[in-house]
Amino acid sequence: MSIRPRDPMPSGEALFPAALAQWRLDVRTEVKRSSSLPTSMFDACDPMLEVRLAETTEAMLSCLQEPTSKVTQPPPSGADKRIEVVTLAEMKVLPSKLTAADHAVPDLDAGLSAECLAVLADACGSGHEGATAGATTMLREHFGIHSNAAALAALAELTTTLQADLANGRSADDLAALCERISATVAAHLTPADSP
């Protein structure tokens, strides 16, 4: 693309906005005249447009010459960025949505113990040594629970397998066999202190 303003741009700062507006108009007119692309697809006045077009073309050419090479993405720019579309109708109803629910005062510490217990149990079964040690300590100090990390780790591993199996549509017999394996593995890891 070699689009240039028809008239030389005035150099004075005061004339700049007018010159810029004229240049924009010229560019858009030129693009509309010479291209079949809908102009709403891009900002014809984007100063980086030419660079990006060149880069994209270069990437396409290199891809044609070497089909195995990856097409590199053009660099980001404001004009290319995604923006979520929000309708006026969605904004219009916001105040009424605010009054729709009850005005209960939420509690910042609600459910803290239950959340903590679940997160610590997850950490115990994560197989991550440092986190397991920290979680075990917290379980003991906060909840009086003496966890068996090995049992939880085995349980976590088998649960993951079970989830994958379920996702793959395994038969009921297979699942029953897996449950037996889980039960046996956990039982083997349980120490007397962990037993009820």
Q: For other proteins, give the closer residue by CB, 144 or 171.
A: 144
Which are the contacts of 162, defined by CB distance < 8 A and separation ≥ 6? 175, 178, 179, 182
Q: For other proteins, give the closer residue by CB, 84 or 173.
A: 84
Q: In angstroms, give the least distance from the CB of 45 to other proteins.
A: 8
Burial annotation 136-154 (CB, 10 A radius, 16+ → b, else e): bebbeeeeeeebbbbbbbb
Q: According to the binding rule CB under 8 A, does residue 12 interact with other proteins?
A: no
Which are the contacts of 39, defined by CB distance < 8 A and separation ≥ 6? 28, 31, 32
Q: Identify which of 129, 119, 190 has the alpha carbon closest to the alpha carbon of residue 154.
A: 190
User: Taking CB under 8 A as the criterion, which residues in 170-189 touch other proteins?
Assistant: none
Q: In angstroms, give the least distance from the CB of 173 to other proteins.
A: 25
Binding residues for other proteins, per CB under 8 A?
16-17, 20, 24, 43, 45, 47, 73, 76, 78, 81-84, 86-102, 104-112, 114-123, 125-126, 128, 130-131, 133-135, 138, 141-142, 152, 155-156, 159, 163
